[in-house]
Chain A
Amino acid sequence: MNIDIVQHSPALILAVPLLFAFLTPIVARISEKGRDAIFFLGLFIMAFFVSVMAYEVYTVGGWSYVFGGGTVTPNGTGSSFFRILFVADGISAMASITLTISAIGAAIYSYKFMEHDTGLNKFNTLFLLMIAGVNGMVLTGDLFNLFVWFEVASVSSAALIAFKNYEGEAVEAALKYMILSVVAGLFFLLSIGFLYGQYGVLNFQLLAENITGTNLDKIALTILVVVLALKAGAVPLHFIIPDAYSMAPGSVTAVLVVASQAGLWVLFRVVFTLYGLAVNTFTLGWIVIVLGILSMFIGVTMALVQKTVKRLMAYHAISQTGYMLLGVGVGLAVLGQPEMDIYGRLAMEGGIFHIINHAMYKGLLFMTAGVIIYETGKRKLDELGGLGHSMKWTMVFFMIGALAIAGIPPFNGFASKLMIYKSVYSFNPLLSIIAMVVSILTLASFVKVFHSIFMGPKDESVSKTTEAPKPMLLGMAILAGVVILFSLFPGLVVSTIVEPAVEALGVIV
């Protein structure tokens, strides 16, 4: 027996959650404790393979994994022509790490959070399926395979959003999410058809070599950008995000944030790796920048008027997505212009660093919102108050998350936002100023939320609340720990995991 675990890790990252997803309901027939043990075992084995893959990517370099064996040949001869490819590179490693950290945090959190719900067998299955779907989206090197994982992620996310199906609103949100995802998926399939019909290949590498930028290519690109922006929750296709995020159980929302970001990772792969200089990157870059600026501004202004905790946070998630799009859009706009290369690269590093930061602090914030709803049973901001007396740890975690999202030094949100401000300023000062104003509005909004939830005298109606149970605190502590770690060593994080991701996009000539 001589199986190379490192070589096969991209496939195992998917195989393990898929296997355990369907193992948990079987084990649950014997014992519920066993089911939970199997659930966590699956997650930790997956985390092990993710770290094996990431270590190899960061020390040796990326590779393509061909299902069924064989190697990748440049000109499309040989077995890789027909087979499904997985790509282990900076992008997939970073995306898998982000997903794994928030999945483990969310799983520990949901151990207690979901306790009072029935049908937990299905919850565990769907949770693992969603993780497999998102991992598949970022790992795959094949367009059609991407569509399949896109649908796996959509179906399991929608089912998880509707998990509390005793509330009509949850089902309504899930239905909206599902209809939009399916329609988006079908457009995606059409654009795959456009590309396949012209070039007869589906994998990214071969397509990128052949693509010439015909009109049909441009139509396909437009569809792909719109579909992936919808998945990521960018304005003007953001309207499913607030419903979905606010109605999903608190533990699921933390992972849903990462699932949405999978759309961004794939968008970057499509615009940089697949198309690159075959199309006018300046125009395309500006389209992405405008989407980013709109998301930022509309997200934060809508957040200011929200009355429920989770809806407010969901609008902030839209606003933060704008920063990522802005950073990467600037990188795209200056692609191929050597004199601007240094800014473009810094902007991209900022945008991509912001993705992992956002996944951590936003997950943390949604979890604290989940705790508040779990303990008090109330969602509305003006019904809450004085929780700081009884929920000290939750308050601390909320503060860490809120300061990070507002970009207050020394938190990690500041590190990535500063990179975006600096580089975008050299590109176009106005964009940088808008980004800063949005940051201030974010801070204003979170000061209001903090004040109305935690400050003030002990409220009569919420005086019986206690601190969150230990597993929930542990789940939040994991994400808060990562936020603090990234805040202390931003330089190290950028050079270790962000730079390989930027390089994997092929920006460096």
Chain B
Amino acid sequence: MNWEAILMTIPYMTVVILFMIGLFTVLFKKNLIKIIMGIAIMQNAANLFLVSLAYRRGEYAPIFTSAESTEMVMPTAHALTLTSIVIGLATTALLLSFVIMIKKHYGSINTDDVRRCKE
């Protein structure tokens, strides 16, 4: 049994589980706030995926002041994650503000009641 290889896949398994939980919430929940929570879970899964990709066993984290040598892992994925966190903040804020407006106009945040567009 190669335990090490199994341990290395745990982050990726977590990503898949989190992403599926998020997707399930978005697809099957009726409450708009819950849908947005699902999106947030998916965002975190994607961020975790990017960070896990950057991990190299035995290499140094790309922090100049604490690394023992100048040979460090590529910080590209970390930069991507930071950007993606910021984007996630912006989109979540916008979505929640839409929900506030929906509550004002429709008096409900259940997706069954929010379907006036088609008429």
Query: Which residues of A come within 8 Å of B, CB atoms?
Result: 82, 144, 147-148, 151, 154-155, 158-159, 162, 165, 167-169, 171-176, 178-179, 182-183, 185-186, 189-190, 192-193, 196-197, 200, 202, 243, 246-247
Contacts and interface: CB of A to CB of B under 8 A. Distances in A.
A171 B109 CA distance: 12
Contacts of A162: 98, 101
Interface residues of B, dominant DSSP:
helix
Contact of A189 (B35, B74, B84): B84
Contacts of A247: 117
Contact of B76 (A151, A159, A202): A202
Most buried by A among B43, B91, B117: B117
Nearest to B50: A193
B106 to A, nearest CB: 6
B39 A144 contact: no
Given A158-B94, A168-B116, A179-B35, A186 B43 contact: yes
Interface in B29-78: 32, 35, 39, 42-43, 46, 49-50, 53, 74, 76-77
Nearest to A150: B87
Nearest to A154: B91
B13 interface: no
A265 B82 CA distance: 27
A82 B35 contact: no
A411 B117 CA distance: 33
The 5 closest A-B pairs by CB, nearest first: A168-B105, A171-B101, A175-B98, A243-B117, A189-B46
Contacts of B117: 169, 172-173, 176, 243, 246-247
Contacts of A189: 46, 49-50, 84
A167 B95 CA distance: 17
Contact of A171 (B39, B49, B87, B98): B98
Contacts of A196: 50, 53, 76-77, 80
B7 interface: no
Given A168-B105, A171-B105, A193-B46, A178 B98 contact: yes
A174 B53 contact: no
B42 A186 contact: yes
A238 to B, nearest CB: 14
Contacts of A173: 117
A373 to B, nearest CB: 16
B83 interface: yes
A173 B90 CA distance: 19
Contacts of A197: 53
Contacts of A147: 84
B105 A178 contact: no
Nearest to A307: B119
A462 B99 CA distance: 36
B21 interface: no
A182 B41 CA distance: 12
Contacts of B91: 151, 154-155, 178, 182, 185
